Amino acid sequence: MVVAEESVFEVQRTLAELAAEAGPDATTACAQWRVHDLVAHLVAGGIEVLRLVRAHLDGEPDSVTTPFATREAPWRAAPFEGLIEVLGQSRDVTTALEILASEDPDARILFTGWAMSANELATHARSELALHLWDVAGDDPTIRPHLASPDLTAHAVKALRQFRGIAECGLPAQWVRRLGKAPLRLRSPGQDDVVINGANGPLALAPPVAGADCELDAADRLLILWGRRSLPER
């Protein structure tokens, strides 16, 4: 069952409201990105997912994901108000994913090198939105419950194995070198541990056992996995 449209749309709408309040030229936690750039990134990414899902539903063969710079360029040049309207009102992507889950539940859509199910794509969309909410608004207490959701941590563990070309994929190796041991366990109350198996090994989820290396709030752990916070010193 794909993640309910409302759960994605509510985060999407919240982000649109906060971005509009901040204004297009406000800085964000994403290096060298203004709010305008961040919203353009999200709108362009959503439209790319929509293109790939619709192509699959129309029986077309898989195509290569359009590179970030190519798909984002026209949206970075678009008026900010129009971007906010698209982000805050469009349900097209989640509706397409609901159709895909219903008509072809075993389908896998190749997105940035990862063949994802409709459910995984919906979770990926929610993860992107939640992280970028933090990039715009920081440690607002209303944002932390989105970041603390266990399925977003599980998604991050998968994504950091699959999206080999993004900067965050190199973080586990840096942590192992800095702390001088592996495996490393990052623990959050009531959730599985995130295990870093070695400098060249993948991340994994595992039931808690004695001897966690770091214990921290689930929202902070997700922010660490995506490079928004530093790993705490032991």
Residues 142 and 172 in one domain: no
Predicted local confidence at residue 23, as pLDDT = 98
Residues 76 and 171 in one domain: no
Residues 40 and 143 in one domain: yes
Residues 136 and 187 in one domain: no
pLDDT confidence band for 75 (50 / 70 / 90): very high
* Domain-ending residue, one of 115, 147, 179: 147
| 99 occurs within a structural domain | yes
| 39 occurs within a structural domain | yes
d(Cα 25, Cα 34) in Å, to the nearest integer?
5
Q: What angle, rounded to 10 degrees, do the helices at 5-22 and 118-137 form?
A: 20
Residues 73 and 177 in one domain: no
**Is the predicted pLDDT of residue 1 greater than 50, yes or no?**
no
* Domain-ending residue, one of 82, 116, 147: 147
Predicted local confidence at residue 5, as pLDDT = 45
d(Cα 34, Cα 136) in Å, to the nearest integer?
9
Nearest to residue 46, comparing CAs of 79, 9, 21, 3?
Answer: 9
Predicted local confidence at residue 3, as pLDDT = 45
- Any alpha helices (H) in the chain, and if so which ranges? 5-22, 35-57, 68-76, 80-89, 92-103, 118-137, 144-147, 150-162, 171-179, 218-225
Predicted local confidence at residue 173, as pLDDT = 76
Residues 31 and 65 in one domain: yes
**3-state DSSP call for residue 128?**
helix
More confident call, 192 vs 231: 192
Question: pLDDT tens digit string along 108-162?
Answer: 999 988 999 999 999 999 999 999 999 999 988 888 988 999 999 999 999 988 8
Q: Give the range of the structural domain holding residue 108, as residue numbers without chain letter.
A: 5-147
Residues 25 and 138 in one domain: yes
d(Cα 174, Cα 190) in Å, to the nearest integer?
27
Over residues 180-192, mean pLDDT: 88
Among 61-65, 66-70, 217-221, the minimum mean pLDDT is found in 61-65
Among 1-5, 145-149, 192-196, the minimum mean pLDDT is found in 1-5
Residues 129 and 198 in one domain: no
pLDDT confidence band for 176 (50 / 70 / 90): confident
The residues, ordered by sequence, that sit 6+ positions from 221 with a Cβ below 8 Å of its Cβ are 153, 186, 188, 194
| 160 occurs within a structural domain | no
CATH number of the domain encompassing residue 57: 1.20.120.450
Residues 10 and 81 in one domain: yes
| 101 occurs within a structural domain | yes
**3-state DSSP call for residue 198?**
coil
Residues 16 and 86 in one domain: yes
| 33 occurs within a structural domain | yes
Overall domain count for the chain = 2
| 234 occurs within a structural domain | no
Predicted local confidence at residue 8, as pLDDT = 80
| 233 occurs within a structural domain | no
pLDDT confidence band for 167 (50 / 70 / 90): low
Residues 137 and 176 in one domain: no
* Domain-ending residue, one of 147, 178, 212: 147
pLDDT confidence band for 164 (50 / 70 / 90): low
| 192 occurs within a structural domain | yes
**Which helix or strand (DSSP H or E) is residue 186 part of?**
strand 184-187
Question: pLDDT tens digit string along 13-58?
Answer: 999 999 999 999 999 998 889 999 999 999 999 999 999 999 999 9
Residue 184's beta-bridge partner residues?
Answer: 196
- Counting every residue written for the chain, the total comes to 234
Q: How far apart are the first and last CA of the chain?
A: 40
Tell me the backbone φ, ψ of residue 112, rounded to 5 degrees: 55, 40
Question: pLDDT tens digit string along 205-222?
Answer: 999 988 888 899 999 999
Residues 138 and 34 in one domain: yes
